[in-house]
């Protein structure tokens, strides 16, 4: 069923093949439909025309209609030279001032034509004037800009330089809407429109691009936000109910020797939260349904142990498990920690990473296939095709946000039967985001830290306080404690970042002289042996300071470390800062996080730093992060973001619409699980067209 909306954008009059390529590349706009659904991200209110006599210097942007009565160029060459055009309407006169493009404006402006001008009044020498207003002839064929809310479209430098400035986009949009009039078919069933009081599709398209007024704009936006979130939730919930009904889960009823022995060997008691989560998991894996669970818990809350005890249950029932971590360092640490715990219990575990030597790989592959290995730790290396299990029953993804959708999906297909899945994250995810990203998962939360942990004291310092910080570090080292120093590493500025790290490292070595002090350094440009050597040096307590990039962000556990010093802290996101801070404060002594920043900070950065100093609640920080940065940036400088682009809904601002749309989608599915009812036909059609985009991730993430 092809519609004019599927037409290639190059066929829109005014676009053509060359410029369509640009739209394609810069904005991913390929069809008429894509372009129609390319919405303004803000609007300028040009519904009102002011009178000159109403103007006050304190006003924001205003629009006027009138004539130019006089044009004067004043001043000599140089910055004082300016063009002053006197503008008049029936109520008075005001000067329009131009410092640039004087010659062009002088030729272009005419004294007997009516113009619409738009600009911000300002006070200069006690008179009000308008500097560099937008100005255009008040002709009838230009109704888009006058008497409307004017949409402002997202754009890029390249687009603007190639004939797609905002006005040109708006003009094309007007043409497109005219062209498609009559084909703007409703995507929601009539009963949904009625029950939810939504504006019709065609009307909403018109009004989101060219709204008559604020109220209509609000209705149009609401319709698209609701629709977007509703279909997302419908898809996720449908997937979830499908999984619950159709997928058989491996039944792991037995609590056997492996579990019992290790439980007795633990040098401490599990926290109440850990016990509760293990119970929740046990309910899943004995239910006959496949588990697909997200485990959230702050850094250091003991998620890994929960994963290991679940793996022991799997082993007790004759199944293999694997735990996938995002970095080598972390995988090694998991492995070593587990080895200690599992020693003498008969559980066989192994480690597989990108650095595992070829001759060690082979026996691991064989023993996985024969079932000899019970528990495999590793990085991405463990999802390679060559890695085959005998009977994988349980798979864990640690710090799941570091993995792409495909990697997760690959793990899913490792067993004959789909294994039970546990994804773990220390980045607390706000409720709305969890509902979107993980709408088809069950969620467990560890909301309790092991006993004896003290909150980390967080301090903000700028470069000119560095000496004081160094003395403080020396006191800590004298007291037998260790120190992390972390530098940002961001792909776009990688070269500079490495340079900063190298310089920082030299400074530290200079200040903390050997042999009294030992400083280790870990970063991505090192040989693996060097990295492992320095990491061990620090982990074993033989180095006082570890200088590194944010590779240590996740997981690394050195209980004796008491200071986390973060360089250029303003460049990290809140969630990342929180993760880093979680690396200290694992022992019972007082711990410190020092946020080093430049002296001058943007408002945003200052707010982030202040928040860090004032709270240690990961969820509060995550909510703030979502509000301040938007979900796309939630993971800071890491890749990731949302699995599908939300075009208009904003997870931080539209949480109510999200929750409502989820409830509504659930209600529809409760009545019609397969959406086979005639009245839901439109839903199925739209869902199928969305499937391409979201199918993969809804199965596993």
Q: Is residue 580 part of the contact set for ligand ADP (CB under 6 A)? A: no
Q: How far is the CB of 399 from ligand ADP (least distance, A)?
A: 9
d(CA 294, CA 303): 11
Q: What angle do CA 318, 323, 329 make, to 5 degrees?
A: 145
Tell me whether residue 256 or residue 559 sits nearer to ligand ADP (CB atom): 559
Closest CA to 256 of 322, 309, 334: 309
The CB-nearest residue to ligand ADP is 302
Which residues fall within 8 angstroms of residue 353, CB to CB, at 6 or more apart? 328, 331, 332, 378, 379, 381
Q: At what angle do helices 257-265 and 328-342 cross, to 10 degrees?
A: 100
Nearer to ligand ADP by Cβ, of 221 and 333: the residue is 333
**Integer Cα distance of 330 and 522 in angstroms:** 13
Q: Please state, in angstroms and as integers, the Cα–Cα distance from residue 573 to each residue in 83, 184, 551, following that order.
A: 46, 41, 15
Q: Which of residues 304-323 bind ligand ADP (CB under 6 A)?
A: 304-305
Least separation in angstroms between CB 557 and ligand ADP: 5
Q: Which is nearer to ligand ADP, 327 or 680 (CB)?
A: 327
Q: Which does residue 301 touch among ligand ADP, Mg ion, none (CB within 5 to 8 A, set by kind)?
A: ligand ADP
Q: How far is the CB of 285 from ligand ADP (least distance, A)?
A: 20
Q: Does 331 bind ligand ADP (CB under 6 A)?
A: no
Nearest CB to ligand ADP, comparing residues 177 and 584: 584
| C-beta of 54 vs 536, nearer to ligand ADP | 536
Q: Which two tokens stand for residue 448?
A: 């309790």
- Footprint of Mg ion on this chain (CB under 5 A)? 304, 555
Residue 268 binds which one of Mg ion, ligand ADP, none, with CB within 5 to 8 A depending on kind?
A: ligand ADP
**Alpha-carbon span 175 to 104, nearest angstrom:** 29
Question: Residues with Cβ < 8 Å from 421, sequence gap 6 or more?
Answer: 290, 291, 292, 293, 394, 395, 396, 397, 411, 412, 700
Q: Which of 159, 311, 383, 426 binds ligand ADP (CB under 6 A)?
A: 426
d(CA 138, CA 699): 55
Q: Which CB sits closer to Mg ion, 292 or 304?
A: 304
Number of neighbouring beta carbons within 10 Å of residue 49: 15
Q: Which residues in the 438-467 window bind ligand ADP by CB under 6 A?
A: 450
270 binds, among ligand ADP, Mg ion, none (CB under 5 to 8 A by kind): ligand ADP
Here's the x/- map for ligand ADP, 7-26, by CB under 6 A: it reads as: --------------------
Q: Give all strands (DSSP E) within 228-327, no chain letters.
A: 292-297, 320-324
40, 66, 151, 302: which one binds ligand ADP (CB under 6 A): 302
Q: How many CB atoms lie within 10 A of CB 668?
A: 22
Instruction: Find the binder of ligand ADP among 274, 353, 568, 640 (CB under 6 A).
Output: 274
Q: Among residues 240 and 334, whose Cβ is nearest to ligand ADP?
A: 334
Q: Which CB atom, from 249 or from 302, has the smaller least distance to ligand ADP?
A: 302
CA dist 440 and 477 (Å) reads 48
Contact flag: residue 576 with ligand ADP (CB under 6 A): no
Please choose, out of 301-309, 319-327, 509-517, 678-686, the segment that lies near ligand ADP by the rule CB under 6 A. Answer: 301-309
CA distance 125 to 661: 55
Please state the closest distance from residue 336 (CB atom) to ligand ADP, in A. 11
Separation of alpha carbons 422 and 204, rounded Å: 41
Q: Which residue, 318 or 337, has its beta carbon nearer to ligand ADP?
A: 337
**Residue with Cβ nearer ligand ADP (321 or 698):** 321
661 part of the interface to ligand ADP, by CB under 6 A? no
* 332 binding ligand ADP? (CB under 6 A): no
At residue 127's C-alpha, the angle toward residues 125 and 133, to 5°, is 105
Question: Min. distance of Cβ 651 from ligand ADP in angstroms?
Answer: 25
303 binds ligand ADP (CB under 6 A): yes
In the region spanning residues 540 to 559, those forming contacts with ligand ADP, defined by CB under 6 A, are 557
Three-class DSSP labels, 194-207? HHCCCCCHHHHHHH
Distance CA 490, CA 492 (A): 6
- Give the nearer residue to ligand ADP in terms of CB position, either 299 or 700: 299
Q: Does 271 interact with ligand ADP (rule: CB under 6 A)?
A: yes
Q: Is the separation of the CB atoms in 375 and 321 below 8 Å?
A: yes
Instruction: Report how far residue 635's alpha carbon sits from residue 574's, in angstroms, rounded to the nearest whole number.
Output: 9
Interaction site with ligand ADP (CB under 6 A):
268, 270-271, 274, 297, 299-305, 426, 450, 557, 586
């Amino acid at each position: 069923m092809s519609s004019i909306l599927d037409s290639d954008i190059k066929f829109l009059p005014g676009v053509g093949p060359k410029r369509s390529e640009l739209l394609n590349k810069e904005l991913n706009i390929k069809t008429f439909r894509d372009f129609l659904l390319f919405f303004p991200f803000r609007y300028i209110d040009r519904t009102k025309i002011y009178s000159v006599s109403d103007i006050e210097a304190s006003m924001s942007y205003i629009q006027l209609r009138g004539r130019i009565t006089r044009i004067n160029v004043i001043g000599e060459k140089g910055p004082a030279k300016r063009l002053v055009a006197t503008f008049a309407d029936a109520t008075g006169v005001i000067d329009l001032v131009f410092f640039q493009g004087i010659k062009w404006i002088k030729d272009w402006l005419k004294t007997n034509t009516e113009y619409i001008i738009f600009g911000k009044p300002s006070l200069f020498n006690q008179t009000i004037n308008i500097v560099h207003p937008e100005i255009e002839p008040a002709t009838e064929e230009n109704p888009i800009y006058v008497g409307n809310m004017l949409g402002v479209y997202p754009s890029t430098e390249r687009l603007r330089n190639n004939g797609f400035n905002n006005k040109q986009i708006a003009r094309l949009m007007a043409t497109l809407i005219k062209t498609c009039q009559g084909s703007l078919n409703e995507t929601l069933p009539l009963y949904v429109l009625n029950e939810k009081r939504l504006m019709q599709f065609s009307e909403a398209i018109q009004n989101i691009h060219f709204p008559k007024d604020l109220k209509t704009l609000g209705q149009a936006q609401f319709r698209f936000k609701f629709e977007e979130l509703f279909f997302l939730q419908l898809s996720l919930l449908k997937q979830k109910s499908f999984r619950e009904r159709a997928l058989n889960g491996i039944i792991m009823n037995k609590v056997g020797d492996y579990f019992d022995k290790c439980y007795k060997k633990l040098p401490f008691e599990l926290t109440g939260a850990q016990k509760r989560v293990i119970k929740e998991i046990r309910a899943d894996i004995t239910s006959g349904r496949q588990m697909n669970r997200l485990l959230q818990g702050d850094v250091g809350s003991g998620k890994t142990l929960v994963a290991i005890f679940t793996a022991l249950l799997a082993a007790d029932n004759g199944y293999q498990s694997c735990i996938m971590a995002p970095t080598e360092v972390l995988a090694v640490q998991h492995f070593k920690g587990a080895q200690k715990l599992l020693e003498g219990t008969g559980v066989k575990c192994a480690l597989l990473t990108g650095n595992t030597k070829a001759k060690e790989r082979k026996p691991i592959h064989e023993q996985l296939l024969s079932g000899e290995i019970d528990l495999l730790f590793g990085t991405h290396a463990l999802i390679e095709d060559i890695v085959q299990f005998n009977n994988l029953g349980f798979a864990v993804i640690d710090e799941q946000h570091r993995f792409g959708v495909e990697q997760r999906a690959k793990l899913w297909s490792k067993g004959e039967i789909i294994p039970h899945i546990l994804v773990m994250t220390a980045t607390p995810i706000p409720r709305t985001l969890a509902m979107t990203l993980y709408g088809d998962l069950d969620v467990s939360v560890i909301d309790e830290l092991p006993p004896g942990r003290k909150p980390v004291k967080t301090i903000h310092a700028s470069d000119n306080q560095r000496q004081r910080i160094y003395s403080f570090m020396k006191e800590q080292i004298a007291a037998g404690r260790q120190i992390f120093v972390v530098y940002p590493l961001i792909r776009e500025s990688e070269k500079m970042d490495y340079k900063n790290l190298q310089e920082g490292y030299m400074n530290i070595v200079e200040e903390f002289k050997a042999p009294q002090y030992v400083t280790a350094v870990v970063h991505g440009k090192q040989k693996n042996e060097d990295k492992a050597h320095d990491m061990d040096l620090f982990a074993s307590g033989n180095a006082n300071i570890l200088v590194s990039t944010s590779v240590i962000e996740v997981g690394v556990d050195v209980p004796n470390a008491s200071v986390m010093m973060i360089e250029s802290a303003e460049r990290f996101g809140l969630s990342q800062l929180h993760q880093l801070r979680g690396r200290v404060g694992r022992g019972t002594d007082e711990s410190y996080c020092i946020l080093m920043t430049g002296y001058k900070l943007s408002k945003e950065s200052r707010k982030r730093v202040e928040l860090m100093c004032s709270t240690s609640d990961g969820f509060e920080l995550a909510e703030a992060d979502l509000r301040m940065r938007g979900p796309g940036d939630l993971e800071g400088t890491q890749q990731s973001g949302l699995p599908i682009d939300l075009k208009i809904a904003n997870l931080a601002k539209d949480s109510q619409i999200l929750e409502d749309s989820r409830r509504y989608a659930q209600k529809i599915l409760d009545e019609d699980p397969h959406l086979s009812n005639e009245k839901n036909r439109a839903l199925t059609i739209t869902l199928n067209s969305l499937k391409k985009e979201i199918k993969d991730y809804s199965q596993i993430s």
